[in-house]
Amino acid sequence: MIEYEQDTIADAFTLNTGFRNNPYNYYTVALKQIRALRECSLFRCKLFPVPEPMPINGGGVETFQTVAAYSTARYTVRLIPNSYVWGLAYVEMQTNFTQTLGRSATIQITDACTGLDFFDDFLIASAFEFFRTTGSSYPPNPFPSILIQPKLIQDPGLLNVQVSNRVSGPLLCQLVLFVAEPAIREGMVK
């Protein structure tokens, strides 16, 4: 029989204690939806980049894979089964790794266990972007973008991520999945 303790918010997930409780602000309301994740003690936060950095040119230089022009690249992310995906962030870069304002990609994420898509259709990736150019009339998105409800990823813990490049040049980009993965010893819970 497990004895559960009462605990305070450890908040290893957003690392931001400056949010006020504003019912008209999506971020603070969404933050409440992941309260269990913020308070739990047996899940740890881990970030998964998609695509992963990989060595090119014989391994001398490390860079990101690019998504070819007019193509849709498919990646598979392996998580520990029973992990929660709770946030997303997206960034587009130039070849010298300078961050640019992303307008080039659409993304779709599918849970391999249930076959369910995260989004109804491919979504403009800049929805998860936190970067804005100087002088932009739009405020920057809070970092990271929190899903309305954390997604539980069951065994085998695989996520299929598709990134579609809509423009005529290769796309250097990275999607970051914010995941709470269980840090549980064998036999601790059922």
Partner 1 sequence: MKPLDPVLAQGYRNAPNAADKILFNEIELYSTIKDIGGIHKVCCPNLRRDQPWLNMPGDAKRFQWIGQIQVSQITAANTDTIVLQRQVDYGYDGSIASIVCRCFDPAFIDGSGMLQWRLQVNTYWVPDCGQIITSLGSLSTPFEVGFVRVQSGQLVTFYVNATASALGILSPTSYIQCALIGWEYAR
Q: Does 65 bind partner 1 (CB under 8 A)?
A: no
Of the candidate spans 9-17, 56-64, 85-93, 94-102, the one that interacts with partner 1 by CB under 8 A turns out to be 9-17
Q: Smallest distance, Å, CB 15 to partner 1? A: 10
Minimum distance from CB of 51 to partner 1 (Å)? Answer: 15
Return the number of other C-beta atoms located less than 10 Å from residue 181's C-beta: 19
CB of 31 to partner 1, least distance (A): 14
Q: By CB under 8 A, is residue 33 in contact with partner 1?
A: no
For residue 78, give Cα distances in angstroms to 13, 90, 138, 153. 20, 19, 34, 10
Span from 20-28, 42-50, 86-94, 138-146 in contact with partner 1 (CB under 8 A)? 42-50
Mapping DSSP to helix (H, G, I), strand (E, B) and coil, where does residue 19 land? coil
Residue that the structure tokens 């603070």 belong to: 28
Residue 179 CB, nearest approach to partner 1 (Å): 13
Closest CA to 15 of 150, 131, 130, 143: 143
Contact 130, 175 (CB under 8 A): no
Stretch of 18-26, 87-95, 128-136, 158-166 contacting partner 1, by CB under 8 A: 158-166
- Comparison of 47 and 69: residue with beta carbon closer to partner 1: 69
**Is residue 10 involved in binding partner 1 (CB under 8 A)?**
yes
Is residue 165 part of the contact set for partner 1 (CB under 8 A)? yes
| Secondary structure (DSSP) of 35-96 | HHHHH-SSEEEEEEEESPEEEEGGGTEEEE-EEPTT-EEEEEEE--TTEEEEEEEEEEE-TT
Residues of this chain that interact with partner 1 (CB under 8 A) are 2-8, 10-12, 35-44, 68-72, 74, 82, 84, 106, 108, 113-116, 121-122, 124, 152, 154-155, 162, 164-166, 183, 185, 188-190
